[in-house]
Amino acid sequence: MEDLRSWLKEVEGIGKLKVVDGADPHLELGILAEVNCKRRGPAFIFDNIKGHDKGYRIVTGAILDAQRLGLTLGYRDITTDQELVSRLEGKVIDWERRSGEFAPEEVSDGAVMENRFFGNDVNLLKFPAPKWHEYDGGKYLGTGCVVITRDPDTGVINLGAYRLMLHDEKTLALHISSAHHGALNVKKYHARGEAAPIAVSFGHHPLYHVLAAMSVPYSISEYQFVGAIFGKPVPVIPGEITGLPIPAGSEFSIEGFSPPDERRDEGPYGEYTGYYASGREKEPVIQVKALYHRNDPIILGAMPARPPHDYSYFMSAMKSANVKDSLKKDGIPDVKGVWYHEVSGINFFTVVSIKQRYPGHARQAGFMVCQCRAGGTSMGRYVVVVDDDIDPSDLDQVIWAISTRSNPEKDIDILRNTYTGPLDPIYPKPEKISFGSRAVIDACRPFDWIQDFPRVVQSSDEEREKVMQKWKGLFD
C-alpha cells in the first residue's frame, strides 16, 4: 500500500530525510521548516514535539526538489528539473483519460483504524498543531491535509487542500476560497439548510496532497487520479459517521459536519502568496464526531510562506504541466513550454513558449492560460508569451524577451473582471473583492515581420559544439 510511511522510507533511502528532536510547536518548528525550505533541504520529521507525547510527529519539506516529486509520482530515476518536465509531458491528459478505470476500492479495515474515538472521547488537542508564523491568529492542525467532501447532487467525491485552524477538542475552523470544489460542495448543503458532511486526512502519501492542490475536472474524483498514477485503485474505508471515503492508509483522520448556521473566527494565516492577505474572518466550522489514527501518527505539514516555501516547487511543476496539457487539449498548436514561477507565489507570473504559426497565435495562447480550467480558476496577474527559443523557466531569458520583443503600447492586453480570491494581497480589507484583472504580455517577435526581425547574437549549436569539443577541458 502506498502510504506516508512507505514514502518516507524511500526518501530516507536517497538520503533526504532528517529527524528533528524536541522542537517547540510555538514558532520554533515553523521557523526551522521555513529555513529548511529556503535551502531546498531534506524532509524534516519532527519527533518529541514539546508539549506532546512521543510518537506524535509532523513531517515538513516533503517535496522540495525534482527527485522527490518524481518519486512521489512513481518515477524513481528523476534527478533534474529538465528530466521531470520531460517525463510529465502529456501525463495529465493521460491520467485524466484513464481515471475512469480506477474508482476507489472500499475495504473494511486499514491502518488508520488502529485507534478509534467517537463523541465525547474525541480530543484533537493531543495532536501537535503548530503556530507556524509569528502573526498567525492561532494554531493550525491542517496544512498538508486533504479535506474530503461530496457533491450532494452528483455524488462525486472531492479532495481539496485547505487550511484548518484548531479551536478546541472537537472543533476546527475551515478556510476555502469560494471557487474551489470543496467550497461549492459545502455551500450546496448549507443552501438546503443541511449540515455538510466532511472528512479530513491529516497524514497520507504526499501524492494525495499534490492532487488535492491541483485543478482536477469537477466530474472526476482525485481518488481516481491517484489510482491512475499508481496504476491501481485506492483502498478507502467508508467513515462510520458520514460514509465519506477515508484513505485506508491514512495516519490520522476525522469526520464530522459543518452546520449551515455556525461560524467561528479563523486567521490571519501566512499564506503562499508571501503575505497575510486575509484577516480574521468568520468561517465555517467542522464539528468533529469521530477520530481515527495509527499508532505513532505522522501529520503531513505543508507550511506556506514567502516563496519558495514547502509546497511551491511541486505546485509550480504540476500546474505548469497541467496547463500545458490543457492548452494542447483545447487545440492551441505548438505549445513548447509553460512555467508558473515559484518566486511570484506560483499563480501570479506565468510564461508560455510557442512556435508562432499564424497571426494572433501568441495572444490566443496567453488568453487561454487566463481562462482555461487548469489556469483560470486561480488567482493570476501576468501571463507572458515568448517564442520557442526562450526557456519559459529561465527568468533571465524571459526578461530579455519582454524587454526587446514587446512594445508596451501594442503588446500588453488587460483582461478585466477575472477571478481572484480572498488571499489576493492587492485588495484592501475587509472588502470582499471577487473580481481581478490580468495582463497578457506578447513578448514574441512581431508575426507580421518575423522573418525580418533582427538576428540574435548567439553562436549556432553546430559551431559551439565544434569549439567545445576542441576546448572541452577549459571549463572543467
Q: What is the pLDDT of residues 283-308, one digit of tens each?
A: 999 999 999 999 999 999 999 999 99
Distance (Å, whole) CA 376 – CA 419: 7
Instruction: Indicate the average pLDDT of the chain.
Output: 94
pLDDT at position 430: 57
Any idea which of 113-117, 190-194, 414-418 has the lowest mean pLDDT?
414-418
| Per-residue pLDDT band at 1 (split at 50, 70, 90) | low
* HEC assignment per residue over 89-154: CCHHHHHHHHHHHCCCEECCCCHHHHEEEEHHHCCHHHCCCCECCCCCCCCEEECCCEEEEECCCC
pLDDT at position 275 over 70: yes
| Distance separating alpha carbons of residues 364 and 245, to the nearest angstrom | 41
Per-residue three-class SS string for 185-213: HHHHHHHCCCCEEEEEECCCCHHHHHHHH
361: which residues sit within 8 A by CB, 6+ positions away? 333, 354, 447
Can you say whether residue 15 is alpha, beta or left, with left for phi > 0 and alpha for psi between -120 and 50 degrees? Answer: left
Question: Mean per-residue pLDDT for 181-192?
Answer: 95
Query: Quick check: helix, strand or coil at residue 330?
Result: coil
Whether the per-residue pLDDT at 161 is higher than 90: the answer is yes
Residue among 138, 105, 379 at smallest CA distance from 270: 138
Looking at mean pLDDT, say which of 112-121, 206-215, 268-277, 432-441 comes out highest: 112-121
Residue 311 zone, left/alpha/beta (φ > 0; ψ -120 to 50; rest):
alpha
pLDDT at residue 390 in the model: 96
Range scoring the smallest mean pLDDT among 82-91, 184-193, 369-378: 369-378
Summarize the confidence of residues 198-211 as an average pLDDT: 97
Distance CA(414)–CA(433), nearest Å, equals 18
This prediction's pTM: 0.90
H or E element that contains 386: strand 382-387
- Assign 371 a pLDDT band (cuts: 50, 70, 90): confident
Q: Note the pLDDT of residue 419.
A: 82
Q: Which residue has the cell 548567439?
A: 458
Phi then psi for residue 397, to 5 deg, are -65, -40
Share of the chain above pLDDT 90, in %: 83
Of 204-208, 249-253, 314-318, give the lowest mean pLDDT range: 314-318
Mean pLDDT in residue range 11-33? 97
43 membership: H or E segment, kind and range: strand 43-47
Task: Determine the pLDDT at residue 278.
Answer: 77
Sort strands 245-247 and 263-266 into parallel, antiparallel or unpaired: unpaired
Percentage of residues in the chain with pLDDT exceeding 70? 98
For the beta carbon of residue 22, count every other beta carbon within 10 angstroms.
10
